[in-house]
Structure 1
Amino acid sequence: MTVFGGVRSWASRHRRTLSIAAALVVAALGFTALYHLLHSVRPHAIREAFRAVSNAQIGFALLLTAASYLLLTLYDTGALRVIGRKLPWRTAALASFTSYTLSHNLGLALLTGGSARYRVYRAAGLSGGEVGSVIALASLSFWNGVVLLAGLAAMASTQLLPIFDIGLSLHWLHLGGMVVATLCLIPLLLRHFGLTALDIGGWRTPIPDLKTSASMTLVAALDLAAASAALFVLLPAPDPAAYPAFFLGYAFAIIAALISHVPGGLGVFEAVVIAMVPGDKAQLLAALLAYRVIYYLLPLLLAALLLAWHESKAWHAPARQFAAASESLLRELAPPLFAALVFAGGLILLLSGSTPAEAGRMHDLRHILPLPFVEASHIAASLSGTLLLFLAPGLLRRLNGAFVATRALLLAAAIFSLTKGFDYEEAVILLAICAALQWSRPAFYRKTSLIDAPLSTGWIVAALIAILGSAFVGFFAYKHVDYTSSLWWQFSLRGDAPRFLRASFGIAVLITGLALWRLFAPSARTVRDTPVGFDALEPALALSDSTDAFLAYTGDKRFLLADEGDAFLMYRVQGGNWIVMGDPVGNEDRWADLLWKLREMADAAQGRILLYQISAACLPQAIDLGLSIVKYGEEARVELARFTLAGPQAKTLRHAERRAVQDGAEFAVVAAAEVPAHLAELKAVSDDWLHAKKQREKAFSLGSFDPAYMARFPCAVVRIDGRIVAFANILATPNGTEMSVDLMRHVKDIPYGVMDFLFIRLMQHAQQAGYRWFTLGIAPLSGIDGRKLAPAWAKGAAFVFRHGEMLYGFEGLRSYKAKFATDWQPRYIAGPRGMAFAQAMAAVHQIVSRAPVRKDTRAPVAATA
């Protein structure tokens, strides 16, 4: 066990490196298989096959691609119908188009396409759970379409694929197709046996009925048929009778690409198609290259250009015609789309540098530029492409420095494309990307240092695989050239292979330099804690709609302030864990920037961040940070306009109020200025409560009985015979949105109904003051349904909620709050994956359970030097 434990510990410490290595190994295997599959194919044969693709074939492929993306929008339309949310088709189309263009090109569907869907639908009013259900139902439709069409193709095929040529006959292939096609009936069978919904990650996703399921599966099958046909028509003289066998190969290829997690399935998709689809391999590869451009890159370019046009109108038009919500949504979608587009531009430069130049253009170029300019331009273009791959994540995070550097590189690379081989098509594409980027300039507003920006594992993998792919293309293109050491020193207009070698060496030096620079950089920039008065937090607190923001005054937190002063987040550092309490406070436009800054600080200190008790409003930022999302519980909220003691549902409340009044209970609100005069009596009540409950003061997520903290807020009290028997300090947002309480304490011998009486009077007080909501706090583990197919953490949480009364009283707490609550809002925890999540939660327990130590009325604000 010690050996295995040591291995697990080592793997946990090096999880990121192992993830990168695993993805690179899979990609390398794909490129190696592709190289061996094409060992007999000459590069000039591929060029000839590519030139042989007619305009009619390209036109048909474009039409089928448009049909596929149009059908993709119906995935979301059907899913929205299943969950009972009707949105305009244009909203579903925007979510679908942006989602699929990102996930098709970058992979990591949940973090790229899923994040785009989340932003669109949250702006349209859907909850986080509903967005998750839409994603789940769309995925179910896709896989149903795959198995249905693959089964039908197998049943209709008149030839065997090479993979089946192991003694199987067409009879067995047809029989297997029937079995595969029936797999799409599994959701209907589940519904037939009484399972009407699945709980996925805490989200309850309905199972579609027969009619809806059939229509969604048919849409998916038609989409896959159109997508595969867009590739099929690019083949020379495609035979319709061969399409069923072709689709089987296509289906295996997309499944392999998804399982491999290689961004865009680059190399893996091509290798599987060439291995499984009969036909000339040069023609297949030429068709695949054209398909990459038509089905992957053109929709991405179109999405970015359309978005840039909309943004330019929204920000620059004299008369604004777009609502503020639409502008905000466009700002959210621009960065991921342009990040993917710039990444594609970098890949184009690398591939261009790995392939031979056009002989005719090089002949014309020699009359304009001397050879040294051509050689230098070739290396500069390849290095620019490499840098663009690593700048793309900065655009995703809206960094101003990434925007400036990317714009400069795109302009320079367009010039290099012309001077290295007069590649005017390449230059036009790069300039178009640059123009679209420039039109969307306001989307990239953050001043965070580009030098300190950490690269996520996914982006590192994507960049390295792109470089690996370009190297594969180069070695394949020049496999007929015998290697000699003299190649490094050959300089001529026709010296494509030497230029490729020198450019590859330059890229390797650049990557090594970047890695060493990051490795030997200081472990952290200087971080200082600058004490400031709590008054620095007031501009942000004035904008808050949540009373949780006032936990800032507990005196046990650090703060990170936005440069504008209208937003902050509060956090604690426990060991290597940087724990954020709740959502950032204040202007929501600053939230993402604050969270990224904190992550950079934690990363520089070799720590990790965890977001504790965040709301659904903070989930997009948590997803962008790459954190794992777990449902923590539900917040009990009372809509004060609906709160009343009339009616049968309030019978128990009326009874409790009547009993408390009969026992002499009197309610009063003590103003904050008068609280110090009552602190001694309140302290006696608090001490009695702590002793009776065998509790000690909590911290971080709750306030404690601290004189400075208590004196900041009004206090609701209940007196009997002039003696205070219960109290609760009142937190209220300045904008009149929400009122709540933090400390709720009473004496040991309190009469029946007094606490209900306290809450009833508080809610009536909030009603009279014009507040919209009264919140009763969070019921931990509430709303987590641990069904048979739920993840292990959900099952465990549901079990503890139902049977853990001796530990905490989870179910009893929810039942008590349910007497008042009219609305339950989910709360989440977002943290690192795997065992690191458990370690971070242990750190949360330590800081919550530890009694706070307040030094003065000031709190440190962490700031980077």
Structure 2
Amino acid sequence: MERFKLLLKKNGTKLLKLIFIILIVGVIISSGVRELKSIDYAKTISIIREFPISSILIFTVLGMIAVSSMSLYDFAIAKYLNLNIKAITIFSITFVANTINNISGLGGLTGASIRTMLFKNSTDTKEEIIDYNLLLIPATGIGLSIMMIISLVKYQYIVPIVEKYRLITIAIAIFLIYFLIYFFIDKIFYKLNKELINQRNPGRTILRTKLLLFSFIDWMVAFSLFFIIVRQFNKILNFQIIFIVFTLGSIAGILSLLPSGVGSFDLMVLLGFQYYGMMTEDVLAILILYRTFYYVIPLIIGIVFTLIVQSKSENKLIQFIKISRIKDFINKASVITNLLLSILILSSGVILLLSALIPGIIDRVKIASRLLSFPILQLSRQLSICVGILLIAISRQIRMKVKRSYKITMWLLLLGAIFTLIKGFDYEETIFLVLVLIILKMSKESFYRKSLPIDWFKSFLTMILAFIGILGYMKMGHKILRDFIKVEYFKTLILRGSSWNILGGIIAYGLLIIFVIYYELTKDRITKDSRYEEVDEEKLYKFLQEYEGNFSTHFIFLKDKHLFWSSNNKVLIQYEISHNLAIVLGDPIGDQQYFDEALIEFQDFIDEYGYKSVFYQASDKLLPFYHDHGYYFFKLGETGLVELDNFDINSPKSRDFRNILRRFEKDGFIFKFYNEGSIDENLLLSLKEVSDEWLDNREEMGFSLGWFNKEYLNKSKIGIIKNKETEDIIAFASVSPSYDNNNSASIDLMRFKKNVPSNTMTFLILNLLLKFKEDNYKLFNLGMAPLSNVGITQNAHIQERMAHLVFKYGKHFYSFDGLRKYKNKFDPRWEARYLIYEDFTLLPSSLIEVTWLIHSKKKRS
């Protein structure tokens, strides 16, 4: 149950996003299902197939101009910020970013993140990148607001659409309000993000005005392509009507946040043109052509362009850089390439599915049916469906650069090209698949990962969505084939093959399930890698004799974690994997001059298997080191360190402590201390009795907390309190060494029986402090005070301010404040502890996974 709750928390955001998308799709389907049923798909496909090559070339050029016009924003912003970037570099980067952003949607956020990734080497500060996106993202949609205002001049054309579809009123209002706040975006942003340096100055208003104009030009160029396509089907439709329908459709597409506004843009255009008398089949053909020449073709050209540029860059580098450095460059430079490749692979799968749905051109089908038997034609069609579904399923693995997926995808593309050629000589689809195969082959060096962590949640979700998708696909296929029955030649073929449709869907879904399960169960795992080492005590002790440990080192002997040794065996990292994270406990230990090299080795190792690193309870002294490696920080709290040289039991402020010591001695309680390896069986049984009573049927915790284990306790020092007369032990504490030449030690297990006298633990801690002071130790670690001094400053990050509220008002769940107050009695020096994480999106999942590891029963006995 606890596991389920943690998984629910971790995937809560994903589920909410999924629910939102499902609701949007549901609205689109419920609104458009009647219109979709009325479409004659055979007629639509015939219309598209009849377009001459000259028209296709014109549409291609217009589509490229439309996407290229988006670079106007970037030229203006780069000039304003005085960025030292060549014009050709700006254009090449923004062209790729814009083609991806058009496909992905999300209101410009995808394009912004890609620009950030590619421009970061050309800017001096993080603030410049933030400012770049702050100027760019709001500008991309403002042109639509202008178009909406222009549309309102002819409101009589809008009223009928709004009266029929009331929800569009909200969308119109949002874009009109957005126009009013556009020039105040800077003020709002810096008000919400006080930690950032305010970049505003008077010149920005002029720049924003320019960007507004460029946005209007950008959307008008896109509209020009749309308008010319519409004119191929309808020569008399009013210009204002086409303008208004395009504007309303674009607004609906942006607000839906769906990739390329799919469904929402199309439905609005379909309904708008239907109202003004256009044939449904013509509208569908317009939408297919517009999406092809505005989205798909520029994307393919962008991918090819990126690969050519990257290939040239790599060839130059090979002449100057050592072989060991080339892989690192390729991995970083290929981030965008692999994203583009995954989109291409996904598109290939979709094309195969659509190709299998639509009967081929009659003359080609006649030739194929004379050369091949009917079962072979049908089998190739069903196999095309299977390959298409597998390509869609594996596209994420391509994006994540998994070597195994590269090989599988090469075979799938080859088979897909063969099957689509056999089923009806559809050489267009075959050429496309072969081109994708060639592009994939050119990108071979970018694939380096051995596997990704098993994610059964995503796999299960894939199965559910695939099932729904295949049902919809089969239903759509039935509708399309029914339309083609009207064509006499296809009638016989379709009637003979109708029984294959259901069979094909069942086979495809079954194959997908088998593929996913087999792929997950047979892939390489980090647990099988020789670098994923168990604890070798002999090797560890030898290492600790040469290098100092830290407050977390002793937890290695819990043996619930694994060890990563640097290649020169001079640095050691203790960690454990949990889902997609490799969670390190404490800082690395060993020779500090090799920390950089060791961390890079560790990151490379876990990255081969798709894991991200997180450091739990990292110290503040190494923050510059983590910062240099691009990590983010979250303050977990503070640990209390008693400086034993300054601890004086005879000082005036220790009067209460002396009273406690005298009272317990008077009441017949004594303190006894045991060094490592001195616990006999009788003492162990007595300690176990205390521990069990303290646990009271609760589960032991681990990872960053010790648990009751004979082997582990024998490596610790033990302090006990017992009744002098009865010899009953009422409390004990274990103390873990820091392996730093007896300079410091940490409190670990602290357990006591029920109904012990008040201040029992204070009596125990005082005796431990006195004992370690007597043994010339310098520091005694009282442990963490979670969330202590977190988020207390005015400009603290919002997540830390929220943590401060938990610390202040969360006493009903856990006494955060009380724990710090108790430890403060011993006058410790407080030292911050941090959660260090690679990606800023990992904070919630990192906290959840750490909690899961601490409460996990793995390896615990």
Instruction: Tell me the TM-score normalised to structure 2 length.
Output: 0.64
Judged with a 3 Å threshold, the aligned counterparts in structure 2 of structure 1 residues 598 and 370 are, in CA distance, closer, same or farther, namely closer
- Name the residue aligned to 1:366: 369
Alignment of 1:296 onto 2:270: no
Separation in structure 1 between the aligned mates of residue 215 and residue 250 of structure 2, nearest angstrom: 14
Query: 1:266 maps to what in 2?
Result: 262
| Structure 1 pair 9–442 and aligned structure 2 pair: CA distance change class (3 A) | closer
Number of the residue aligned with 1:144: 142
Out of 197, 205, 208, the position equivalent to 2:190 is 197
Q: Which has the higher helix share?
A: 2
Following the alignment from structure 1 to structure 2, what is the Cα–Cα distance between the partners of residues 442 and 611? 30
Q: 2:740 matched to which residue of 1?
A: 710
Q: Per-residue deviation at 1:233?
A: 1.6
The answer on whether the counterparts of 2:249 and 2:269 sit within 8 Å (CA) in structure 1 is yes
- Which secondary structure does the structure 1 equivalent of 2:534 belong to? strand
Q: 1:493 to 1:274 in 2, by over 3 A?
A: closer
Query: Counterpart in 1 of 2:662?
Result: none
AA aligned opposite 1:312: S
What is the match of residue 222 of structure 1? 217
The whole-number CA distance in structure 2 between the counterparts of 1:456 and 1:133 is 38
Over 3 Å counting, the alpha-carbon distance change for 1:530 and 1:554 in structure 2 is closer
Find out whether 1:379 has 2:372 as its counterpart.
no
| Residues 235-264 of structure 1, C-alpha deviations (whole Å, 9 max, x = no match) | 134669844443443343344344444444
Question: CA distance change for structure 1 residues 457 and 551 in 2, over 3 Å: closer, same or farther?
Answer: farther
In our comparison, the structure showing a higher alpha carbon Rg is 2
Q: Is the 8 A contact 2:534 2:562 kept in 1?
A: no
Q: 1:246 aligns with which of 217, 242, 261?
A: 242
Structure 1 segment 690-709 matched on structure 2, within 5 A = 709=739
| Residues 266, 178 of structure 1: alpha-carbon distance in 2 compared, 3 angstrom cutoff | closer
Look up the equivalent residue of 1:503 and give its one-letter code.
G
Change (3 A) 1:87 1:451: same
1:286 and 2:269 equivalent? no
Alpha-carbon RMSD across the aligned residues, in angstroms, is 6.2
Shift of 1:378: 0.8
Residue type of the alignment partner of 2:284: L
Per the alignment, residue 770 of structure 2 pairs with: none
Structure-2 separation of matches of 1:634 and 1:129: 26
- Matched residue of 2:451: which SS? coil
Q: Which residue of 2 aligns with 1:58?
A: 56
C-alpha offsets along residues 157-189 of structure 1, whole Å, 9 cap, x if unaligned?
673364234699xxx99xx98995574241435
Instruction: Give how far 1:491 is off.
Output: 8.6
Q: CA deviation at 1:558?
A: 3.5
Look up the equivalent residue of 1:159 and give its one-letter code: Y
The residue number in structure 2 matching 1:594 is 606
CA displacement at 1:382 relative to structure 2:
0.8
Go from structure 1 to structure 2 and tell me whether the alpha carbon gap of 1:699 and 1:530 turns closer, same or farther (over 3 Å shift). Answer: closer
Distance 1:831 1:178 in 2: 32
Structure-to-structure mapping, 1:650-665, within 5 angstroms? none
Alignment partner, residue 102 of structure 1? 100
Give how far 1:392 is off.
Answer: 0.9
SS in 1 for 2:575: strand
- Runs (5+) with no aligned partner, structure 2: 589-594, 658-701, 706-733, 745-772, 782-787, 811-815, 821-834
Q: Deviations over 1:450-502 (max 9, x none)?
A: 9879848998898678757744642431344899xxxxxx9948856555444
AA of the residue aligned to 2:285: A
Q: What is residue 571 of structure 1 aligned with on the other side?
A: 575
| Pairs aligned (count) | 697
Q: Gaps spanning 5+ residues in structure 1: where?
A: 484-489, 540-546, 601-608, 623-628, 636-680, 715-723, 730-742, 746-777, 810-824, 848-859, 861-865
Deviations 1:627-653 (A, max 9, x none): xx9863699xxxxxxxxxxxxxxxxxx
Conserved in 1, the CA contact under 8 Å of 2:378 and 2:497?
no
Deviation at 1:807, TM superposition (A): 9.3
- Counterpart of 2:297, as a letter, is L
Where relative contact order (Cα < 8 A, 6+ residues apart) is larger, the structure is 1
What is the CA–CA distance in structure 2 between the aligned matches of 1:843 and 1:687, rounded to whole Å? 40
Please give the alpha-carbon distance, in whole angstroms, between the structure 2 residues aligned to 1:595 and 1:403: 17
> For 2:628 and 2:417, how far apart are their aligned partners in 1?
35
Alignment check: 8 A CA contact 2:643 2:780 kept: no
* Separation in 2, partners of 1:399, 1:412: 20
| 1:145/1:220 contact within 8 Å kept | yes
Farther-moved stretch of structure 1 (138-147 vs 585-594): 585-594
1:477 maps to a residue whose letter is: I
- 202, 205, 209: which is aligned to 1:210? 205
Deviation of 1:122 after TM superposition, in Å, equals 3.4
Question: Is 1:352 the counterpart of 2:355 in the alignment?
Answer: yes
- 1:154–1:394 distance in 2 versus 1, CA, 3 Å: same
Q: Tell me the CA shift for residue 46 of structure 1.
A: 0.8
Q: Secondary structure at the match of 1:571?
A: strand
Distance 1:587 1:844, change over 3 A: closer
Post-superposition Cα deviations, 1:213-248, rounded to whole Å, max 9, x if no partner, equal 111122222212222332222113466984444344
Equivalent residue for 2:509? 508
Is 1:256–2:252 an aligned residue pair?
A: yes
Deviation of 1:407 after TM superposition, in Å, equals 0.5
In the other structure, the counterpart of 1:275 is 271
Mapped contact 1:613–1:828 kept (Cα < 8 A): no
Contact 2:342–2:399 (Cα < 8 Å) also in 1: yes
Return the offset for 1:348.
Answer: 0.6
Aligned residue in 2 for 1:428: 431
The 1:300/1:533 distance shift into structure 2, 3 A limit, reads: farther
2: CA distance, partners of 1:167 / 1:289? 23
Specify the alignment match of 2:696 in structure 1: none
Rounded Cα–Cα distance in structure 1 between residues aligned with 2:587 and 2:463: 29
Whichever residue aligns with residue 531 of structure 1, its letter is V
User: What is the rounded CA distance, in whole Å, between the counterparts of 2:65 and 2:181 in structure 1?
Assistant: 28
Identify if the C-alpha distance between structure 1 residues 589 and 8 changes in structure 2 by more than 3 Å, giving closer, same or farther: closer
> Cα–Cα, structure 1 residues 456 and 536, in superposed 2: closer, same or farther, change >3 Å?
farther
Aligned partner of 2:634 among 622, 627, 632: 632
User: Once the 2 structures are TM-superposed, how far is the Cα of residue 784 of structure 1 from its aligned partner?
Assistant: 7.7
Instruction: Measure how far apart 1:313 and its partner are.
Output: 3.5
Aligned to 2:674: none
Shift of 1:398: 1.0
The aligned runs of 1:551-570 (5 Å cut-off) are: 555=556, 558-559=561-562, 561=564, 570=574
**Separation (CA, whole Å) in 1 of partners of 2:93 and 2:795:** 28
Contact 1:106-1:263 within 8 A present in 2 as well? yes
CA distance, structure 2, for counterparts of residue 116 and residue 283 of structure 1: 36
In the alignment, structure 1 residue 530 sits paired with structure 2 residue 534 = yes
Q: What is the CA distance between 1:411 and its match in structure 2?
A: 0.8
State whether residues 105 and 264 of structure 1, in contact with CA within 8 Å, keep that contact through their aligned partners in structure 2.
Answer: yes
SS, match of residue 42 in structure 2: helix
TM-aligned CA distance change 1:391 to 1:827, over 3 Å: closer
Task: Determine if contact 2:108/2:137 at 8 Å carries over to the other structure.
Answer: no
Q: How far has the Cα of 1:36 moved from its partner?
A: 1.6
Rounded Cα–Cα distance in structure 1 between residues aligned with 2:188 and 2:614: 35
Return the offset for 1:438.
0.7
CA drift at 1:361: 0.7
What whole-Å deviation, never above 9, does each CA across 1:108-148 have from its counterpart, x for those lacking one?
Answer: 67885455334323344565565455444322112322222
Query: Equivalent pairs: percent with the same residue?
Result: 17
Distance 1:412 1:744, change over 3 A: same
Where does residue 68 of structure 1 map in the other structure? 66
Cα shift at 1:843: 6.9
Find the residue that maps to 2:94 and give its secondary structure: helix
The answer to whether the 8 Å contact 1:342/1:392 transfers is: yes
Aligned to 1:121: 119
Contact 2:644 / 2:777 at 8 angstroms: preserved in 1? no
Which amino acid letter does the alignment assign opposite residue 632 of structure 1?
F
Aligned equivalent of 2:450, options 443, 447, 470:
447
1:335 is displaced (CA, Å) by: 1.7
Is 1:411 matched up with 2:409? no
For 1:640-655, list aligned pairs within 5 A.
none
Letter in 1 for 2:386: L
Task: Indicate the SS of the match to 1:446.
Answer: coil
Taking the aligned partners of 1:257 and 1:106, their CA distance within structure 2 comes to 11
2:402: which partner in 1?
Answer: 399
Taking a change above 3 Å as real, the CA distance of residues 73 and 576 of structure 1, as seen in their structure-2 partners, is closer
